[in-house]
Amino acid sequence: MPRKTVLWTALASLIIISLLLGGCGAKTPQATSVATQPPATTEEATQTPGGRKVVTLIYPQEFDNLSPLYTSMWFSWTTWQMFLHWAWEFDENNEPFPVLVTEIPSIENGGISADGRIITMKLRDDIKWSDNVPITADDFIFTWEMAVSPKNAVASTYPYDLIESVVAPDPQTVVVTFTDPFAPWLATLWHGILPAHVLQPVYDAEGTIDNADWNKNPTVGCGPYVFAKWESGSYARFVRNENYWGTPAKIDEIFIRFVPDDASQVAALKAGDADLGTFIAYSDVPALQDAGLKIMIEPSGYSEWMFFLVNEEKGHPALLDVNVRKAIALAIDRDAINRDLFFGLTSVPASFWDAMPFYNNPPLENYPYDPAEAKRLLDAAGWVDSNGDGTRDKGGVELELTHATTIRSVRQDAQAVMQQQLAEVGIKLNILSVDDTLFFGSYADGGPAALGEYDIMEWSDGPMFPDPDIYYWLCSQIPSDENPTGENWFYLCDQELDRLIQLQSTQVDVNARQKTISQINQLFYDKVYFIGLWQDPDVYAVGPRLINAKFSGVTMFFNIGEWDLAK
């Protein structure tokens, strides 16, 4: 065969092989319409090819651990309604409902002692692990012991390190005694229980459960699904728990695929290769809706905030003046940021308890966009442009502030907008973007935010949702060489604020606590210690096949046992 023909044949073969591989095994789709209607709400089940119902979820980040004690990742939290349960969980309105307990403890039902220190829980008598071993108070005691054991490098000992004792007068009763009255117990306790019969032997043999196989392969659980497999970087599978003590799940398998790229997640959702997308970027919402997916937004308690460093020694002198802080709030068109960067899907939070109306009561109104008033306030405060360089000054000090946040692109976009708007009122904003692990580095590690190097810091935060507890602004939390782990990176010490924050964390009476939080709410507003930028809810893209899915801001997939596939 002539040489020329050989080369052409080889090239053509390569191309043909590629095309054949593309066609081989690929399905030719049914004629599908690109519908824009929301998915069907019928509860009729459907069978997929092969007879199994498999729902595919996309996670942009892979979880680092599946044990409730060893991770704080949102993505890990979502699995605890699949293969585990919390003692009580939270519905789509973020209201608690009992799961492993017969009722939520309260003062009325005797579940909370008068002094607020003792919580008594009554467990259901029909709950069991997937290997048929009953769930008893011993599992709760074991969970507490493991959380506080110095031999376990758990992600957080909070709030278990505040507990004096956990005892079981009988197998169905758990009595938790706190050292001091602890108001946030409902939101912070029992985020997943450990199976004592599986992990106690490990602890006894190795002296720790850090390396327990169960942390990565929790094959014994108590949820509507059981863990099946987790392949690093690729996927995790949860299959229906045939020994589930509750109503059996409708789906055969939950398949979680780890897809770190936003554009790839969107492509997979549009192609129907997944039924649920998580952490959807707002810029992708229109395209996904056009492709027939439903966007569901669930308050998570988080919002984006600009925090001011208010300290005579460390901070800019201008920020000591509440009128300057107020002027900054008035000079930034935050509604426009929400409209343009978030397509109007979020709004400006006026209160740190924006997602908790009970505590944002009376509800605060946002400072409006009023650059004229901002200029007036700055003039009255003595900050004027005396040298004609476009930036205000006072006593020889330029009104030049450093604003730092992480490298997330939407934050950088917002920084650019704010820089421009503040420049219009004579404030020069130097903007910085820093990698997460550097930005949030500790005082001891030279973390710039912790060291007080930034006048304005920005990140997403909220109270201990769904509990209103906060603690950052405590005077005792200001970092120093003597207190390098302090978390009050605003270096703010407001005695009245400090008193109120300490008070609310001890108030187990909800109404009394609500009054205290309201005072804190008003104080934050009046003194403008921080400014709300946008709400930061959880955003899900739900494919047309998936029905009955509801979401909670706390126990995200709380009704995953009811999820089903549309016909």
Partner 1 sequence: MTRYIFKRLLQGIPLLFVISIILFALMMNMGDPVATMGGRRVTRAADYQRLRRQLGLDKPIYTQYLYWLIGNDWTKVDLDGDGIAETSGIRHGVLRGDFGTSLVNRGMPVLSVIAERLPNTLLLMVASEVIIILGALLVGVYSALRQYSAMDSVITTLSFIGYSMPVFFIALLSMYIFAVLFKRWGLPYLPTVGMFDPQIGKTPGQVLLHMVLPVLSISIISFAEYSRYIRSTMLEVMSQDYIRTARSKGLPPPLIIYVHALKNASIPIVTVIGLDLPFLLGGAVVTERIFAWPGMGRLFLDYLSRSDTPVVMGILVLIAVAVVVFQIITDVVYAWLDPRIRYET
**Subset of 249-278 contacting partner 1 (CB under 8 A):** 253, 255, 257-261, 263-265, 267-268, 270-273
Within residues 227-246, the interface with partner 1 by CB under 8 A covers 231-235, 237
Asked if 26 is part of the footprint of partner 1 (rule: CB under 8 A), the reply reads yes
Q: For partner 1, which is the closer residue by CB, 321 or 458?
A: 458
Stretch that binds partner 1, among 115-123, 206-214, 335-343, 390-398 (CB under 8 A): 206-214
Say if residues 361 and 515 touch (Cβ distance below 8 Å). Answer: no
Asked if 279 is part of the footprint of partner 1 (rule: CB under 8 A), the reply reads no
Report, in Å, the least distance between residue 262 CB and partner 1: 10
Measure the CA–CA gap between 201 and 418, rounded to whole angstroms.
57
Within residues 359-398, the interface with partner 1 by CB under 8 A covers none
Within residues 497-516, the interface with partner 1 by CB under 8 A covers none
* Number of other CB atoms surrounding residue 153 within 10 Å: 11
Asked if 150 is part of the footprint of partner 1 (rule: CB under 8 A), the reply reads yes
Q: For partner 1, which is the closer residue by CB, 28 or 132?
A: 28
Say if residues 342 and 282 touch (Cβ distance below 8 Å). Answer: yes
Within residues 295-314, the interface with partner 1 by CB under 8 A covers 302
Report, in Å, the least distance between residue 197 CB and partner 1: 20
Q: For partner 1, which is the closer residue by CB, 52 or 567?
A: 52
3-class SS of residue 48: coil
3-class SS of residue 58: strand
Own/partner long-range contacts of 282-290 (Cβ < 8 Å, ≥24 apart): 282/341, 282/342, 282/343, 282/345, 282/346, 282/410, 282/539, 283/343, 284/541, 285/343, 285/345, 285/539, 285/541, 286/343, 288/541, 289/36, 290/34, 290/36
DSSP sequence for 423-478? HHTT-EEEEEEE-HHHHT--TTTT-TTTTT--SEEEEEE-SSTTS----TT-GGG-
* Pairing status of strand 163-170 against strand 96-98: unpaired
Q: For partner 1, which is the closer residue by CB, 64 or 145?
A: 64
Query: What is the helix (H) or strand (E) element at residue 88, kind and residue range?
Result: strand 88-90
- From residue 495, how far is each of 17, 29, 310, 320, 477 by CA, in Å? 74, 66, 13, 15, 13
Report, in Å, the least distance between residue 560 CB and partner 1: 17
Asked if 215 is part of the footprint of partner 1 (rule: CB under 8 A), the reply reads yes
Among the listed residues 303, 477, 505, 518, the single contact to partner 1 using CB under 8 A:
477
How far apart are the two ends of the chain, measured CA to CA in Å? 57
Among the listed residues 120, 200, 219, 460, the single contact to partner 1 using CB under 8 A:
460
Among the listed residues 115, 180, 340, 445, the single contact to partner 1 using CB under 8 A:
445
Asked if 56 is part of the footprint of partner 1 (rule: CB under 8 A), the reply reads yes
Q: For partner 1, which is the closer residue by CB, 271 or 416?
A: 271
Asked if 70 is part of the footprint of partner 1 (rule: CB under 8 A), the reply reads yes
Asked if 148 is part of the footprint of partner 1 (rule: CB under 8 A), the reply reads no
Asked if 28 is part of the footprint of partner 1 (rule: CB under 8 A), the reply reads yes
* Pairing status of strand 235-240 against strand 253-258: antiparallel
Asked if 65 is part of the footprint of partner 1 (rule: CB under 8 A), the reply reads yes
Report, in Å, the least distance between residue 32 CB and partner 1: 8
Peptide bond into 362 cis (omega under 30): yes
3-class SS of residue 172: coil
Among the listed residues 438, 503, 512, 523, the single contact to partner 1 using CB under 8 A:
438
Stretch that binds partner 1, among 313-321, 343-351, 424-432, 481-489 (CB under 8 A): 481-489
Asked if 530 is part of the footprint of partner 1 (rule: CB under 8 A), the reply reads no
Measure the CA–CA gap between 418 and 330, rounded to whole angstroms.
11
Q: For partner 1, which is the closer residue by CB, 318 or 539?
A: 539
**Calculated CA dihedral for residues 166, 169, 171, 177, nearest 10 degrees:** -20
